[in-house]
A and B are shown apart, each in its own frame.
Chain A
């Protein structure tokens, strides 16, 4: 949880980079509380590394609360928009896959469709793998967002 102030994202990203940690995914958006944003980001590392990241993040004045949610009982989701090449013949097959993956078709044009899929990283990865042979033209992934189940993690 961070205060909504100009430059906060920059400070966080700078801090993580400067200390030699690597962010593999990052999402930011307004939280349920006014003037606060919730950021979810993924940093790979052992416990000592993660503790360092957390302590370093707390040095940023606008950072109000940092939780390592890996160890918690969490719901993690990612959304992806996938533009796949289509031909009139393979279109039904693609539509079927979309159904199996409980994803949606957002747009259909003469030679491509845009698919929206939400799920954990694995689900998105496997849909991408299955669509690969048809020809993936563009992918936009949000990166992971997460919330701890049950208890309130507000500040």
Chain B
């Protein structure tokens, strides 16, 4: 049957199981939009900004494990997608971005709204296509979805000139893929698996460092089995939060720049670090020369390029994490590490990184705790970037897997609004809480309109400190308190703002109001914005300054602590 290029896009998307796309139309992509109007099974969510579309697709993808799809027109539409695409690339999120392009005859002539979007996104996509013939559309879409969500997931861009959408051709959806250069390794090399097993058997002070890969590969049970069988404490990265239950006795926190001190210190003392689906990011390692100085390293990752990139590995295993863990679990011998586990417990007691000081003030840390209490650790939490993100990562003790969505690699402020929207669409069965910074929220708050339009009951907790708090903190500690360009003096009234969007707004200024406000938000069946007007000047601790080690660890000091340790902040 002959179909137009635009019809082929729609048919192919349906065949790939797509049910929702996020985007904004415009001239170059209009032929596709005018075709989508007769495909009711492809639900289109009209965002207010294309960054909203790409980040909503990201939130949808992370919360469901499915490929998130976003669309934009050529030129400014396409460039507006860029931050969301880069966010997805850095955090290995499966995404397909479809952009309209100027007609083929106009390509390369600086035509109206022409940008070389495949060129612009070259370093921030896993792969990209500029489709020059309608018969190339179906193979491109088939390949794009496969590439986006296999191996190490990532975003794929498909750029289609306007006149390719309207030209007709025979529609044949390819059954096979022709990708001779793309063959992700799935099973771990048995020889390496056995070497890993040997190291695990010999280790006296092992730790597991669990990353985003556990969530992507849904290796929760396999991780649990390994940890329990060999009695290994589990530390998670920022993107690994909620890959292992916080309440588990073997859970030993999050390490790194704003991680729990005991997690970083445990890595210092460990004689074996088992990195699972993580990439030894600099926020975790600090100074790599001083990272895990006593440890051998096993590194399991699906991406061969991560092996030995940041940290030299003793046993590399390339493969899908769940499969590799099953291979390891099959041969690993039950072990106990009583002494080591006691030592880790001692570190937790000596370094109470999650302790919150007694005060009448409305502390952000306490707000996260309250959120966790009222939601029973079962809501999806989507954060922005900054202090509130770190407090959320520290204090939201998720009880189920994959509840913590955050822009870890790129650190994109503004993620908190559209990604929460996308997550809510992906998981209508879940309460979605956006833990938002007052800064980040204002970058993408126009998506509140999209939320209202689509009856999405997303709850927002704005951590309103009147600052670009994390930058303010750096100025405080590293730039002699030169607070330049980090203070908001003209923030809107977020309650009135919510009301202007037709959303319930609640303001919390006192410590005592927090629990009730969160409860009220949960009970309200619609979106809610809670404006938490916080104690200002609060810093995130613990902190290991960039590029340093635990020797430079800064922790909050409590009056009743008699231990005097290095680097306490008073």
Interface residues of B in 291-347 (CB under 8 A from A): 303-305, 307-309
Residues of A contacting B130 in the complex (Cβ-Cβ under 8 angstroms): 6-7
In the complex the two chains form, is A64's CB within 8 Å of B180's CB?
Answer: yes
Nearest CB on A from B143, distance (A): 8
Complex Cα spacing A18 to B127, Å: 16
The residue in A2, A6, A51, A61 that gathers the most chain B C-beta atoms within 10 A of its C-beta is: A61
Q: Which residues of A contact B308 (CB under 8 A)?
A: 48, 51-52
Chain A residues touching B, range = 20 to 34
Cβ contact of B307, chosen from A15, A55, A62, cutoff 8 A: A55
Chain B residues, CB < 8 A from A59: 126, 303, 305
Interface residues of B in 169-186 (CB under 8 A from A): 179-182
* B480 lies within 8 A of chain A by Cβ: no
Question: Nearest Cβ distance between residue B340 and chain A, in whole angstroms?
Answer: 31
Q: What residues of chain B lie closer than 8 Å to A18, measured between beta carbons?
A: 123
Per-position 1/0 for A41-83, Cβ under 8 A of B: 0000000100110011011111111000000000000000000
- Checking A51, A55, A61 against B181 with a beta-carbon cut-off of 8 angstroms, the contacting residue is A61
Within the complex, the shortest CB–CB distance from B207 to chain A, in Å, comes to: 25
The answer, among A7, A10, A58, for a CB contact under 8 Å with B304, is A58
* Interface residue B122 (Cβ < 8 Å from any Cβ of A): yes
The answer to whether residues A52 and B305 also contact, given A14-B122, A14-B123, A61-B127 and a CB cut-off of 8 A, is yes
Q: Does A11 contact B (CB under 8 A)?
A: yes
Closest to B180 in A: A64
Residues of chain A with a CB closer than 8 A to B514's CB: none
Q: Judge if B432 is at the interface, Cβ distance under 8 Å.
A: no
Contact pick for B309, options A2, A11, A52, A64, CB 8 Å: A52
Q: A6-B130, A7-B118, A14-B122 are in contact. Are A64 and B181 (CB under 8 A)?
A: yes
* Chain B residues with CB under 8 A of A56: 305
A15 to B122, CA, bound (A): 9
The residue from B119, B147, B181, B303 contacting A2, defined by CB atoms under 8 A apart: B181
Q: Nearest B residue to A36 by beta-carbon distance?
A: B180
A63 closest partner in B (C-beta): B181
Residues of A within 8 A of B123 (CB): 14-15, 18
Report the Cα distance A64→B304, complex, angstroms: 15
Question: A3 on the interface (CB 8 Å rule)?
Answer: yes
**Chain A residues with CB under 8 A of B119:** 10
Chain B residues with CB under 8 Å of A52's CB are 305, 308-309
Residue A155 interfacial (CB < 8 Å): yes
Which residues from 1 to 20 on chain A have a C-beta closer than 8 Å to any C-beta of chain B? 2-3, 6-7, 10-11, 14-15, 18
A155 to chain B, nearest CB (A): 7
CB distance from B297 to the nearest CB of A (A): 15
Question: Roughly how many angstroms separate A51 CA and B318 CA in the complex, as a whole number?
Answer: 15
Q: Which residues of B contact A (CB under 8 A)?
A: 118-119, 122-123, 126-127, 130, 147, 179-182, 303-305, 307-309
Q: Can you report 15 A-B residue pairs in the complex whose CB atoms are below 8 A from each other?
A: A2-B181, A3-B180, A3-B181, A6-B130, A7-B118, A7-B122, A52-B305, A52-B309, A55-B305, A55-B307, A55-B309, A58-B181, A58-B304, A62-B181, A64-B180
A-side residues, CB < 8 A to B, are 2-3, 6-7, 10-11, 14-15, 18, 48, 51-52, 55-56, 58-65, 155
By Cβ-Cβ distance, the 10 closest A-B pairs, closest first, are A55-B305, A64-B181, A61-B127, A55-B304, A61-B182, A64-B180, A63-B181, A56-B305, A62-B181, A18-B123
